[in-house]
Amino acid sequence: MKLPERILTIDIMRGLTLFLMLFVNDLYVAGVPKWLTHTDAGFDGMGLADWVFPGFLFMVGMAVPFAIQSRKNKGDTTFTIVKHIIIRTLSLLFIGVLMLNTARVNPELTGMSKNGWAISMYLCVFLVWNQYKIEPRWLPFILKAAGMGGLVVLLVMFRAGTAENPGWLIPGWWGILGLIGWGYLVAALVHLFVSGNMLKTGLWLLVFILLNILSQLNLLSFPDGLNPVFGVLLEGNTPSIVIAGLFFSLLLLKYGKARFRIFIPVAVGLGILFLVLGFFLRQWFIISKILGTPSWAFICNGISILLFVVLFLLVDVWGIKKWSMVFVPAGRNSLTTYLAPDILYYSIWMTSLPVFFYKTTENPLLAVAGSLGWALLMIGFAAGLSRLGIRLKL
């Protein structure tokens, strides 16, 4: 089976959500409008920041059919693809836990400053997971081995807590990359084993929506040992968002660009349906990203679908795409785009350079402009790293 014609909108929207993630993560909350930031856990509502991450999760699901078909076309067997899915998931979980625990570093017990440990960790991650295209052939093995060795040393050194009650790494909520990993695992396995069947994919979507609803109503009970590891799956929220993206991708593949006049009204109808269901569920569940409510998930999926339709019309149907090319490298190099800025963050904090002056102002225009500028610089930075042969691939 041939790969379908490339849908540029997928790369652009994935890059756009990454850009917005960098933007909202950099915002100085005290100085910007509330509608740009995350809402509190108990507040019924959402801001831009509350859509950005589920928007990216949705795009993770949309990319799954293309990635799996690409591997099949290269001759990969089902076993090989499953192995790749598991290794990729474990890598995302591992890096996510490392990132999550960076804030817990106790410098005195670890023997290294928090910034120093974080910078070293990210550099090792880049050494291990970089997609090398260099000669001689043995050099990538040396660099990967150096990165793995460095991570082992950093893990041995890591200490959190206090001298009286020291601690080590904890999975916690798995971090952003960990959530992506769990969602990707479910969507990829579902797509692989239902062979892209839309009806069966839709049924799996309903399963995780039901899990999300039941868990929010405290009607589910699992053995205590399962929740710390598999809680993200059992709560259903994250997998439901990623599988919604997978389902929508199958709809797109069914019609493609050639039949966009059918796809557009169907997609708009689906997006509106998700929004209506989200506001309907609001009667029982507040709209909350922090709590992971089904009303929030439905509304975010509806926004993602309608935004995709607008971009699809502009870029893939009408060919109006020059404005969006800045987001394409980020969309095609998402992991580097997300992780590379953290190296700069910790380096700047370590040196105390006054780069983030806009974070100390109460002027909302300066605060927002500063974060927008930072996000643009970071997607440019990641694109530059890619041109230099630094490109993470799990």
Give the model confidence (pLDDT) of 301-337 as tens digits.
999 999 999 999 999 999 999 998 899 999 999 999 9
Model confidence at 3, pLDDT cuts 50, 70, 90, reads low
Structural Rg of the chain based on CA atoms: 21
Give the Cα separation of 70 and 67 in Å (integer).
5
Whether 30 has a pLDDT exceeding 80, the answer reads: no
Query: Sign of torsion, CA 341 344 346 352?
Result: negative
> What percent of the chain lies above the pLDDT cut of 90?
79
Q: What phi, psi does 161 have (nearest 5°)? A: 75, -145
pLDDT tens-digit profile of 151-161?
999 999 999 99
Whether 33 has a pLDDT exceeding 90, the answer reads: no
pLDDT of residue 382: 92
Give the Cα separation of 10 and 234 in Å (integer).
28
What is the domain partition of the chain in residue ranges? 8-104+170-387
pLDDT of residue 28: 74
pLDDT of residue 38: 86
Model confidence at 135, pLDDT cuts 50, 70, 90, reads confident
Model confidence at 2, pLDDT cuts 50, 70, 90, reads low
CB-based burial of residue 94 (10 Å sphere; 0-12 exposed, 13-18 middle, 19+ buried)? middle
Q: pLDDT higher for 32 or 244?
A: 244
* Half-sphere exposure at residue 18, Cβ-oriented, CA atoms within 13 angstroms: 32
- DSSP H or E segment with residue 161: strand 160-161
Model confidence at 145, pLDDT cuts 50, 70, 90, reads very high
Whether 101 has a pLDDT exceeding 80, the answer reads: yes
pLDDT of residue 4: 57
Whether 24 has a pLDDT exceeding 70, the answer reads: yes
- Over residues 87-107, the mean pLDDT reads 96
Distances, alpha carbon 6 to alpha carbons 10, 14, 169, 257, 312, in Å:
9, 14, 41, 10, 12
Give the Cα separation of 355 and 370 in Å (integer).
10
pLDDT of residue 294: 97
Give the Cα separation of 364 and 347 in Å (integer).
26
pLDDT of residue 5: 66
Judge contact between 301 and 350, C-beta under 8 A.
no
- Over residues 225-239, the mean pLDDT reads 91
Find the length of the chain. Answer: 394
pLDDT of residue 221: 83
- Over residues 347-373, the mean pLDDT reads 88
